[in-house]
Every structure is written in structure tokens, then in C-alpha cells.
């Protein structure tokens, strides 16, 4: 595996793994049970430099690569998918959108905060706009030097912890998707509040909440990009974000695989470890092959993004495949643990629950297939 990485990347990956094992792992069961991220852990993410990996050093970030951001997501998710998606949304969605679309004043104001203390959230989905992402009902009306936002967002990751929200609203419904505009909304803005928190099957420590906008006042200077160009901000950022979800999924799959590899070498049946049975060896091999193929696809898409080359097709393929692999590997892990795998005393049932979301958020598997087909057909 080492040949996949430069020396610096390998050292970075190793440091994140050590941190995840030492600081995150002891909290995983408690956070999952309470459906609550440990706030002190989030502070440590900032201290480790995990929350502004691509941000230039002049804004307080690490000035590193998108690939390294994906390595961080993978290694954190290997221990806990909830922590993995918090780091993922921060880097591959929110920070990436700011780096690409924010003007200099916005970058100077927000990027240092995002690198050092503020969690970010990316707010596109609504009750009637899931896969139909641009059927938005959240309205934005210009009044003087402000926009007034009214409506709701649903299923927003990091909603509870966030201080900055990239919010998509329509300034003119008659224009369809060309009326959509992206806004930078701070948690303290008048008329904004975080609503109901969802009670989820997996990634339970990751907050997923409703957002409420009741005459929410947003300064006109907080438009991200241009008025009416929010659809471009959304599409291009999500293309990058799908690679991040791919990294989360290979991390979850790796965690399930590692736990299984250890378990089968210590579990005895019929006078020998179950790892000595050929049938178990075949299953282990299938898991390893699937995981390796997914990792290669995610890494390839991330390398293309860093190189400034087209990556939309590869990102969709990587997201689709890695999410399927995560579910498959985690399911086989539960099988190989037997009855123990079905209990919360062992880690694989959580990996199984955490894996399922990969086929749903940031573009369902069906939407990835549609993107792949459209790209292939030109």
C-alpha cells in the first residue's frame, strides 16, 4: 500500500491514524449511543489542522492538497464515520466552495475562522428537493443592502455544530435553476435557527437537522459567487464532495475489515481459528479485493482534482462504487463475526449501520449512475 503515497502523504496518513486511534476511538460507543459529537473532540480536530487542510497558510490553513483532505477523511472514518463526515463536509464542501467562489473579502473574513474554530455546513436539501436538487422553495428577497430569507432546509449535516452555513435559495422562481443563489449565513444572523435533529440509523453522532429561516437577514455582501449562479456553486462543489464521501466509505470499509481480520484470527471453532477455514479465507479475500478497487477509484478521482483535470465521471464512479463496497464489506464483517456481529458489544454492527448512508447523501447511487451515463454519452 505504501507505493500509493509520497513520503509526506504517508507520514500525514500515519499521524491521523494515530490521532484517531488514541483520541476518537475511546469515545465512539458513547457518541453513537448519545447521538452527540464530543465538543472537545471537535476542538482537537482544529488543533490537529484537520479543518482547513486545503486553505492557504495565509488564512491559517495547512496549504495542503485535496488528496490529503481525502486521506484525513478516510483515516478518521476508519474509526468513526460520524467524525469522518464532519471533517469531510468542512473540507471538501464548505472550504472548497469558499476557496473557489468567495471574493477576497469573504476569504479573509471566513477562511481563518473555518481553519481555527468554526464548523461549516452545506445547505441544499429541502423536503421537496432531494435528488431534484434545484426544486428549491427557500426564498431570498432583496431589501436594501440585505436579502431576506424565508423557508426551511432539511437533512443538513453538521447543522448543530456549525457557525457558518452555505445556503442555497431562489431569488426568482420564474427563472428556474438560474434564480438560485448561494449565501453565507452565520449562526447568529437574525431570523435563523436550527430545528429538529434527526434520529438516524447510522453516523448517529453526526448532527443532521432542519434549518429554519424566518425573515432571516443576510447582508448582500454575503452572496457567494454571483446572484443567480448558485446552481454552478452547488454542482461543482458536490462533484468534489462526492470524492470525499468516497473517502469516508473506504474508511468505514477499512475499519470493518481490520476488525474482522483481528477477530477471525482469535476466534476458535472445531479446534482451530476460523481464519484457517478456506471458506472464511475466500470471504476475506473478496473483502480485500473490493476495498482495494474502491480505494484506487477514490484516489484516482482525488489525484485528477488536484491536477486540475476533468474528474466528474471518476468522482461519480468512485462515490457509487465505494458506497456499495462499504455496505458489502461491513455486511460480510457482520457475517464473519456471527452472533457477536449482531451485538453492540462488537464494532462491526456500527460499521454496517454507518455504511448505508453512502448510497444516499451527496447524490444517491441512482443519481451517480445517471451522471455516469450522461457523461459517457456526451
For 83-112, the pLDDT digits (tens) are 999 999 999 999 999 999 999 999 999 999
CATH superfamily of 232-377: Butyryl-CoA Dehydrogenase, subunit A, domain 3 (1.20.140.10)
Confidence band (pLDDT; 50, 70, 90) for 130?
A: confident
Asked if domains 122-228 and 232-377 share a fold, the reply is: no
Say if residue 2's pLDDT is above 80: no
Q: Is 2 a catalytic residue?
A: no
pLDDT in tens, 13-49: 999 999 999 999 999 999 999 999 999 999 999 999 9
- What is the per-residue pLDDT for 4? 80
pLDDT reading at 1 higher than 70: no
Q: Write down the domain spans for the chain.
A: 2-119, 122-228, 232-377
Of the candidates 134, 332, 129, 110, the residue with the CA atom closest to the CA atom of residue 224: 110
Reported in sequence order, the residue ranges of the chain that DSSP labels E, i.e. its strands, are: 119-123, 139-143, 146-157, 162-170, 180-186, 192-197, 208-219, 223-224, 268-269, 272-273
Domain 122-228 has CATH 2.40.110.10: yes
Radius of gyration of the chain (CA): 21
pLDDT in tens, 155-181: 999 999 999 999 999 999 999 899 999
> Are 373 and 221 in contact, with CB atoms under 8 Å apart?
no
Q: Which of 76, 94, 98 is nearest to 85 (CA)?
A: 76
Instruction: Name the percent of the chain lying above pLDDT 90.
Output: 96
> Which cell numbers hold the place of 79?
474509526
- pLDDT at res. 283: 98
Which one from 54, 126, 240, 362 is the annotated catalytic residue? 362
pLDDT tens readout for residues 200-218: 999 999 999 999 999 999 9
For the cut 80, the answer to whether the pLDDT of residue 3 exceeds it is no
Q: 2-119: which CATH topology?
A: Butyryl-Coa Dehydrogenase, subunit A; domain 1 (1.10.540)
Which pTM value belongs to this model? Answer: 0.96
Amino acid at each position: 500500500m505504501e507505493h500509493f503515497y509520497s513520503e509526506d502523504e504517508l507520514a500525514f496518513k500515519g499521524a491521523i491514524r494515530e490521532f484517531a486511534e488514541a483520541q476518537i476511538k475511546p469515545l465512539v460507543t458513547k457518541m453513537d449511543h448519545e447521538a452527540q459529537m464530543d465538543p472537545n473532540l471537535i476542538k482537537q480536530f482544529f488543533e490537529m489542522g484537520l479543518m482547513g487542510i486545503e486553505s492557504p497558510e495565509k488564512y491559517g490553513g495547512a496549504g495542503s492538497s485535496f488528496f490529503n483532505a481525502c486521506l484525513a477523511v478516510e483515516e478518521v472514518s476508519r474509526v468513526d464515520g460520524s467524525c469522518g463526515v464532519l471533517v469531510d463536509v468542512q473540507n471538501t464542501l464548505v472550504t472548497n466552495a469558499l476557496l473557489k467562489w468567495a471574493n477576497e473579502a469573504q476569504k479573509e473574513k471566513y477562511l481563518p475562522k473555518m481553519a481555527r474554530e468554526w464548523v461549516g455546513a452545506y445547505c441544499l436539501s429541502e423536503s421537496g428537493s432531494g435528488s431534484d436538487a434545484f426544486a428549491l422553495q427557500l426564498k431570498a428577497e432583496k431589501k436594501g443592502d440585505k436579502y431576506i430569507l424565508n423557508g426551511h432546509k432539511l437533512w443538513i449535516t453538521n447543522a448543530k455544530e456549525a457557525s457558518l452555513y452555505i445556503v442555497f435559495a431562489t431569488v426568482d422562481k420564474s427563472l428556474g435553476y438560474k434564480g438560485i443563489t448561494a449565501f453565507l449565513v452565520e449562526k447568529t444572523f437574525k431570523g435563523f435557527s436550527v430545528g429538529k435533529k434527526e434520529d438516524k440509523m447510522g453516523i448517529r453522532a453526526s448532527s443532521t437537522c432542519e434549518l429554519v429561516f424566518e425573515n432571516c437577514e443576510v447582508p448582500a455582501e454575503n452572496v457567494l459567487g454571483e446572484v443567480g449562479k448558485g446552481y454552478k456553486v452547488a454542482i461543482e462543489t458536490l462533484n468534489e464532495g462526492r470524492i470525499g464521501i468516497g473517502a469516508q466509505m473506504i474508511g468505514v470499509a477499512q475499519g470493518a475489515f481490520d476488525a474482522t481480520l483481528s477477530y477471525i484470527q482469535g476466534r476458535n471453532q472445531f479446534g482451530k481459528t476460523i481464519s484457517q477455514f478456506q471458506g472464511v479465507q475466500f470471504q476475506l479475500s473478496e473483502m480485500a479485493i473490493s476495498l482495494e478497487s474502491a480505494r484506487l477509484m477514490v484516489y484516482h478521482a482525488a489525484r485528477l482534482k488536484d491536477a486540475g483535470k476533468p474528474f466528474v465521471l471518476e468522482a461519480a464512479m468512485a462515490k457509487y462504487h465505494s458506497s456499495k463496497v462499504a455496505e458489502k464489506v461491513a455486511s460480510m464483517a457482520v457475517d464473519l463475526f456471527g452472533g457477536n456481529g449482531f451485538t453492540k458489544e462488537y464494532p462491526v454492527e456500527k460499521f454496517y449501520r454507518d455504511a448505508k448512508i453512502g448510497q444516499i447523501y451527496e447524490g444517491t447511487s441512482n443519481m451517480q449512475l445517471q451522471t455516469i451515463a450522461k457523461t459517457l454519452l456526451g
